[in-house]
Amino acid sequence: MQSKLSDIELIQQTLSGNQSAYADLVKRHQRFVFTLAMRFAKGREDAEEIAQDCFIKAYRSLASFQGQSKFTTWLYSIVYTTAMTFLRKKRLDTDSIDDENTYIQVENQSSGYDVNNAETKSRSFYLNQAIGQLLPDDAAIITMFYQGEQSLEEIARALGMEANNVKIKLFRARRRLKEKLEQNLKNEVKELI
């Protein structure tokens, strides 16, 4: 029955002390939060860490949610700032190229590429691959707009910018996505010939 409640009702119940209401809120949004985190992190473990941090931060800040925008807009702004903070910290923790774990990770990534040839033929694979090659900001805007079905205004609030700037960034991100798709598909055709 909890899942039929709106986000606002679940928030009110959570603030009243009902922990299961927050669990329902997490279940409702965890897939998209994880997808958006993957656009930034590029690795499953890092994305899981970002997503978990986001839900912890959201829980701690839930009382500050004022309902002026959709809950998802507020939540995605938390995802964005958490991911950016995570990436900044990650850049500071650079690994040596001689590190054995780094070598194993690179080896696993390259050897796992051809494991499932049927998967590489799907449209979603190529689309996700191209999105993964974009800069994190571009990937986030594309993901929020198309997969999250957020409006330009909602994305602008989440990212703390003007809607016109988001519109321009979305236009440019689409153009870069198209270029990545064309490049990737051209390479696939060359491999087939």
CATH number at residue 23: 1.10.1740.10
101's CB contacts (< 8 A; 6+ apart) are 95
Instruction: Please indicate, yes or no, if residue 80 is contained in any of the structural domains.
Output: yes
CATH number at residue 165: 1.10.10.10
pTM: 0.57
Instruction: Please indicate, yes or no, if residue 61 is contained in any of the structural domains.
Output: yes
- Total of domains in the chain: 2
Task: For residues 80 and 129, state if they share a domain.
Answer: no
The whole domain housing 64 covers 1-94
Closest CA to 103 of 114, 111, 91: 111
Asked if residue 2 lies in contact with residue 24, where contact means CB atoms within 8 angstroms, the answer is yes
> pLDDT for 26-66, tens place per residue?
999 999 899 888 888 878 898 899 999 999 999 999 988 88
> pLDDT for 59-114, tens place per residue?
999 988 888 888 888 888 888 888 888 887 776 654 444 444 444 444 444 444 44
Distance CA 38, CA 144 (A): 12
Distance CA 173, CA 143 (A): 11
The one-letter code for the residue type at 170 is L
